[in-house]
Amino acid sequence: MDGHFIWLNEPEVHRGDAADLHVTTGAKTDFWQETFYGFARDNGHAYLTLVEGDFTAHVRFKGDYRELYDQAGLMLRIDARAWIKTGIEYTDGLMHFSVVVTNGSSDWSVIPLPDADRDDEVAVRLTRHASAVRVQFSVNDAPWQLARLAPFPGTDASVGMMACSPERAGFSANFRGFSLGPAIDRKLHD
């Protein structure tokens, strides 16, 4: 965990750093590998730092979600064919908490958030324990909710903030308070 961030597909419009980052997406940006849609895209924006071993990453964010598939959140990445992206994705006229796990090809799971709107702040927490990743979220400081427990290689990777807009350019997202530290307790239930 070196704390040095680099851009993967740096957007033309961005300002700030990991503590307070504003991103405006380029046209038709996304991370996806083949499943269902038949295409591979690896041109989404991600601001990443190296991570090794077990860890917990956390960030708070808001987005101007308006068009189909506008999305923002966290990404854990080894390469173009092995990654997880998680956060809010706008689909069917609603914000959804979304998790895409890619190991060669992508899958997609969503949790509808019918009471959420773009003024709500969402927090996402991603924890790796060996070869498992736990994804949790909270809307407006509600208790953490488990969204996914997924297998993921325990090798060195990069983690950080991501934003995409597969159907347009100009989606804006604001991230604050990114933190990266030791993995939280493995206990899943109180």
Cα-based distances in Å from 61 to 22, 37, 79, 122: 10, 28, 24, 5
pLDDT of residue 60: 98
What is the per-residue pLDDT across 8-45, written as a single tens digit (0 to 9) for each?
Answer: 999 999 999 999 999 999 999 999 999 877 779 999 99
Rg value, the chain, Cα: 15
Mean pLDDT confidence for 65-94: 97
Confidence at 190, pLDDT banded by 50, 70, 90: low
CB 88 within 8 A of CB 121: no
What is d(CA 18, CA 36) in angstroms, rounded to the nearest whole number?
A: 34
Tokens of 183: 């993995």
Structural domain count, the chain: 1
> pLDDT tens digits for 95-126?
999 999 999 999 999 999 999 998 999 999 99
CA distance 20 to 112: 27
Q: Is the residue at 143 inside a domain? A: yes
* 8 A C-beta contact, residue 16 and residue 22: yes
Query: pTM above the 0.85 mark?
Result: yes
The DSSP element (H or E) to which 185 belongs, if any, is none
Q: Is 46 inside a domain boundary?
A: yes
pLDDT digits (tens, 9 = 90+) for 123-182: 999 999 999 999 999 999 999 999 999 999 988 999 999 999 999 999 999 999 999 999
Confidence of residue 2 (pLDDT cuts 50, 70, 90): low
Cα–Cα distance for residue pair 75/146, rounded to 1 Å? 17
Q: Is residue 78 part of a domain?
A: yes
Indicate if the pLDDT at residue 1 is higher than 80: no
Mean pLDDT within 64-71: 97
In a domain, residue 190? The reply is no
User: Residue 188 domain-assigned?
Assistant: no
- Sheet containing strand 55-63, strands side by side: 13-17, 20-24, 172-181, 55-63, 122-129, 132-139, 145-151
How far does CA 183 lie from the centroid of its chain? 18
Domain membership of residue 80 as a residue range? 5-181
Question: Is 113 within a domain?
Answer: yes
Write the burial class of residue 18 (CB in 10 Å: 0-12 exposed, 13-18 middle, 19+ buried): buried
Whether 131 is in a domain gets the answer yes
CATH number assigned to the domain comprising residue 173: 2.60.120.200
**Per-residue confidence at 188, pLDDT binned at 50, 70, 90?**
confident
For 127, 188, 190, the CA distances from 185, given in Å and listed in that order, are 9, 8, 11
Is 177 contained in some domain? Answer: yes
